[in-house]
Chains A and B, each alone.
Chain A
Amino acid sequence: MTIKLTGVWKTFGEGHTAVDALRNIDLVSPQGEFTVILGPSGSGKTTLLNLVGAIDESTKGSIEVDGVELENLDVDGQVKYRRESVGFIFQFFNLIPTLTAAENVELVADLTMSDGADRTVEVLEQVGLGDRMHHFPSQLSGGEQQRVAIARALVKRPSILLCDEPTGELDFETGRMILGLLKRVSTEQGQTVLLVTHNAAIGDIADRVLRLRSGEIVADGRNETPLDAGALTW
């Protein structure tokens, strides 16, 4: 799926307290592109991700995904879009503590498919958790929990993967492993990926690197030869 943002603004608050989180963003991300968005805190990275994921709405401008303008979707349309097209991966994993790894994934799988259980096993094996799928989150390490979160995002075969600081809570080795996993599965499945991070080094694995500052894109570069995640260091 191609993501296209045209003149997008996002303002929080009103009057004197108004803050522009995003200012006049223009961006096109074609299908299968792996984009890393870098920037300091408050630069608007997460806001951008939330707008593309339709869990927030822009103040001005247009966001199109495969020609569909997200602003025109009603609440049910937004739910359908998120359910069918978007996979979210959060910094703090956000797993349901009372469900096992498999159940966390199956919960989402059941939303879109009848063979949810089979697909769950498949995707958990894909992220390397075939032998840990019946463990509860509290019985998993941070890296394992994030892999469950990735499996949960991938299980419904979304066209877009939105990753908000997916390695922010992980140690270096685990973070590198997670990035490798994300890069591998998104390449295999042809997903468009937007990954937000503070860590500039992660930009080396991306097809494209955007830099945001105070809500504006201040740099937009491409990697002709992206690194393999295993070669990353920071």
Chain B
Amino acid sequence: MVSPLQHKLWRDIARHRAQFIAITITMFLGVTIFGATYDSFRNLEASYSSTATEYHFANLTVHGGDVNGVVQEAATIPAVDSVEVRTVADIPFQVGDVKLLGRIVGVPASGQPTVNELKVVRGSYLDPADPNGVLVEQHMADHFNLAIGDTVDVLSGGSWTQVTVRGVVSSPEYIWPARSRQEIITSPDNFGVIFPSADLAATLAPQPNNEAVFYYTGGNPDAQVSDQLTAKAYQLGATDIYTRAEQPSNAGLSEDLKGFEEMAVFFPMMFLLAAGMAAYVMISRLVHSQRPHIGVFVANGFTRGQVLRHYLGYGLVPGLIGSIPGAVAGILLARGITRLYTSMLAVPVTLVQFYPTTLLGAIAFGLVASLLAALAPALVASRVQPAAAMRGETPSGGGRLSILERLIPPLRRMPVSWRMAVRGVGRNPRRTTYTIIGVVLSLMLVLVSWGMIDTINHLMNRQFVEIQREDATVYFTQSVSTAEVTALQDVPGVAQAEPALTLGASLAAGNQHYETSLFVLENNTQMHRFPTVNGDWIGLPDQGLVVGKAVEGLLDVKVGDELTVTATGGITFQESIAAFVDEPFGTMAYIARDRADALTGTQLPATSALVSYAPGADSAQLRQTLTNRPEIAAFEDAKALYSTMQQYMVLFYAFVGVMLVFGAAMAFALIFNAMSVNIAERTREVATLLAVGTDRRHISRYITTENLLVVTMGIPIGLVVGYFASKAAMSSFSSDLFDFSLYMKPTTFLWAALAMVVVAFVSQWPGLRAIRRLNIPKIVKERSA
């Protein structure tokens, strides 16, 4: 049977339905985002983890040097379950008209490798009877529309070899198609992976059997084993060693997962906080206006516990109505997000599971937030003294000069309606504070999202326009002389061409190692500018290494310290650090060609050229012209990666768009409730003003001024807090792979602030409309408003 108090609860909620609906929706959004992001995170983590186990994803990869020596060492370690020695090489491919620097990874023709197994998505696995048959990684196959039976040309020893597509596969190593830790993001026009048979790979690559991959028992990471094998590998001249966690694709996915995990906490917290505050404001107002009723309850024998529970109910109801469907919606949304994500990335295993803890946790979060919001006003209600309460409502705030008027006495001569608005701000300090916090939270949500866009746009421009000055990199079929590179400048449209050499390299200081790419560039290179950590731009120094700033912390070195460089092709030398550079993408090493020649005692070849176009040159035409030259094996469009990243930005824009809508909804819910309560609390004043002849426009202006003053107070705080929250969010994504130093356009602050003002305007509209419906005769006659 429903008790009269329950009737009262539901009728009160029905009477204030707009405000309760706003609270419930905010609660629903918070819980939905939590469920969706947290379950997506868990599903993706489980999918990656299952992929790693099912496909024996390597725990350790050793590239270069005497890999067989490392394999022999592994044979003595029981925890090493399986080992594969394979041929891996980055060599040019030609697919149709496109020449790119792809990668071959040799696998056994007779059956799946024991480490890093492949999932055949289309076609069939290799067959020893088809020696020229290859498997193509799914991202590449999809990009070039490669079907079974299509052919790809692969450069080998200066001539092209045609291979045939037997199957399309996905691989745990290339879920995210990264070339290296320095090139986590690649363009499909510049990078693709082919899996030929081990024998074919050995004939195609300059150095066969140059990589070993190790899988430990159960796939469990074992740091001790990894350390032992790594130490041995360095002794034996390895140039690149990485654990599963450091593996480029896996590292990229981990960053992505980290983002999901942070989102799963940050955004829902904001919404639940906002919903909690809106509920607090609303319930406080209810308790305030119902003091005489509470007095009657207590006087008639209701216990304080009953009163407490009754007013907690005002939090519990929106909490339950928002949380339960929110949790269910979040979990359903997570399933869609997971499937979309894994299909886009071609993750071999997709695990979509039901996690009861997420469901219960999401509901619990919503309920705790709403009950906490109701607790303070409910306690106030339970402590009401009946005699005092039944004498009538206490006036809402005594009069006093505002802080502004006390600080700036001339303001006391403002028009009275302005003074009224200014003093209204301080009339209910707690509500004003909560409204300000709401504005701050909303701006935080907006700026954190918008900050990502600004930062990434800025960093892309910095990397691809300010730092990398070349328009394209062309790779030659064989090493070339400087004169042959310079000859490219005769091609119409080419402004400049510089020889370059890129080597996989390990930088070592003491026992610390860092694997990266070493760029050997012209002494006075015009193709690359170097931004130092101090913000200056320098040229490539004649002597010394220029390295990415992450090396400073990773190897614990400073400018002037000496590094040992071990690069592919048996190159080893020692050189001191000339400068640390602040580059957004990757942590590279650079050295001037003359210095590298002197240190290695040989004239290093040029395998590629950095090319810049003349102003107005047709880049598509030039790509075609250069690709058609027989000495050019691969063409890498520097702007293609830029374009690819800009395409990814579309997803970011969608994400930011959603966050802006959510932020606006949150701001609306909170400001709407605060404004509604604000207006409700002074209906008697408004009715009196109307009765004495003030028109509604005048009253609307005064209320709008007061509300906007509160919002305006929150905006600068919100902008500062939002800025620092964005900075923290971006820095949490920073690593040696990416440097996400926050950059925000000044206009972003302006737009965010304007958006908040617009939301404030809109959110008070229902309250202002209510003024038109005021029953003036009734209100001016009442003891309390």
B776 and A152 contacting across the interface, CB-CB below 8 Å: no
A47 to B776, CA, bound (A): 12
Q: A79-B693, A107-B417, A111-B693 are in contact. Are A94 and B780 (CB under 8 A)?
A: yes
A41 to B95, CA, bound (A): 96
A156 to B691, CA, bound (A): 14
A97 and B781 contacting across the interface, CB-CB below 8 Å: no
Smallest CB–CB gap between B495 and chain A, Å? 71
Task: Indicate if A215 sits at the interface (CB-CB under 8 A).
Answer: no
Q: A79-B695, A98-B397, A111-B693 are in contact. Are A50 and B419 (CB under 8 A)?
A: no
Q: 1/0 per residue A97-116: CB within 8 Å of B?
A: 11110010011101110000
Q: 1/0 per residue B678-696: CB within 8 Å of A?
A: 0000001101111111110
Smallest CB–CB gap between A6 and chain B, Å? 21
Other-chain contact of B693, A92, A96, A108 (Cβ < 8 Å): A108
Segment of B242-250, B420-428, B553-561, B652-660 in the binding face:
B420-428
- Tell me the chain A residues, 86-136 only, with Cβ under 8 Å from chain B: 86-88, 90-92, 94, 96-100, 103, 106-108, 110-112, 136
B420 and A83 contacting across the interface, CB-CB below 8 Å: no
- Tell me the chain B residues, 371-429 only, with Cβ under 8 Å from chain A: 395-400, 415-417, 419-420, 423-424, 427
Q: Which residues of B contact A80 (CB under 8 A)?
A: 693
Using C-beta atoms within 8 Å of the partner chain, give the interface range for chain B: 20 to 34
Q: Which residues of B contact A50 (CB under 8 A)?
A: 776-777
A97 to B427, CA, bound (A): 9
A104 to B689, CA, bound (A): 10
A58 to B781, CA, bound (A): 18
Q: A82-B692, A88-B780, A111-B694 are in contact. Are A94 and B684 (CB under 8 A)?
A: yes
A137 to B399, CA, bound (A): 7
Task: Indicate if A56 sits at the interface (CB-CB under 8 A).
Answer: yes
A136 to B423, CA, bound (A): 12
B420 and A98 contacting across the interface, CB-CB below 8 Å: yes
Smallest CB–CB gap between A195 and chain B, Å? 15
Task: Indicate if A171 sits at the interface (CB-CB under 8 A).
Answer: no
A138 and B398 contacting across the interface, CB-CB below 8 Å: yes
A86 and B693 contacting across the interface, CB-CB below 8 Å: yes
A96 to B684, CA, bound (A): 9
Residue in B closest to A162 when the chains form the complex, CB atoms: B691
Q: Which residues of A contact B417 (CB under 8 A)?
A: 107, 110
A1 to B685, CA, bound (A): 28
Q: A82-B692, A152-B692 are in contact. Are A97 and B416 (CB under 8 A)?
A: no
B397 and A91 contacting across the interface, CB-CB below 8 Å: no
B777 and A56 contacting across the interface, CB-CB below 8 Å: yes
Q: 1/0 per residue A48-83: CB within 8 Å of B?
A: 001001011000000000000000000010011111
Q: 1/0 per residue B690-722: CB within 8 Å of A?
A: 111111000000000000000000000000000
Task: Indicate if B430 sits at the interface (CB-CB under 8 A).
Answer: no
Using C-beta atoms within 8 Å of the partner chain, give the interface range for chain A: 35 or more
Smallest CB–CB gap between A53 and chain B, Å? 7
Task: Indicate if B15 sits at the interface (CB-CB under 8 A).
Answer: no
Residue in A closest to B425 when the chains form the complex, CB atoms: A98
Q: Which residues of B contact A26 (CB under 8 A)?
A: none
A96 and B420 contacting across the interface, CB-CB below 8 Å: yes
Q: Which residues of A contact B783 (CB under 8 A)?
A: 92
Residue in A closest to B783 when the chains form the complex, CB atoms: A92
Task: Indicate if A164 sits at the interface (CB-CB under 8 A).
Answer: yes
Task: Indicate if A20 sits at the interface (CB-CB under 8 A).
Answer: no
Smallest CB–CB gap between B731 and chain A, Å? 45
Residue in B closest to A120 when the chains form the complex, CB atoms: B416
A97 and B396 contacting across the interface, CB-CB below 8 Å: yes
Task: Indicate if A84 sits at the interface (CB-CB under 8 A).
Answer: yes
Interface residues of A (CB under 8 A from B): 46-47, 50, 53, 55-56, 76, 79-84, 86-88, 90-92, 94, 96-100, 103, 106-108, 110-112, 136-139, 152-153, 156, 164
**Closest 9 A/B residue pairs (Cβ):** A83-B693, A136-B399, A82-B693, A98-B423, A138-B398, A94-B688, A50-B777, A107-B416, A55-B776
Beyond A94-B685, A110-B415, 12 additional pairs, beta carbon < 8 A: A79-B694, A82-B692, A90-B688, A91-B781, A92-B783, A96-B685, A107-B420, A111-B692, A136-B398, A136-B400, A138-B399, A156-B693
Interface residues of B (CB under 8 A from A): 395-400, 415-417, 419-420, 423-424, 427, 684-685, 687-695, 776-777, 780-783
> Can you list 9 contacts pairing A with B, beta carbon distance less than 8 Å?
A55-B776, A82-B691, A97-B397, A99-B399, A100-B399, A107-B420, A112-B693, A138-B399, A164-B780
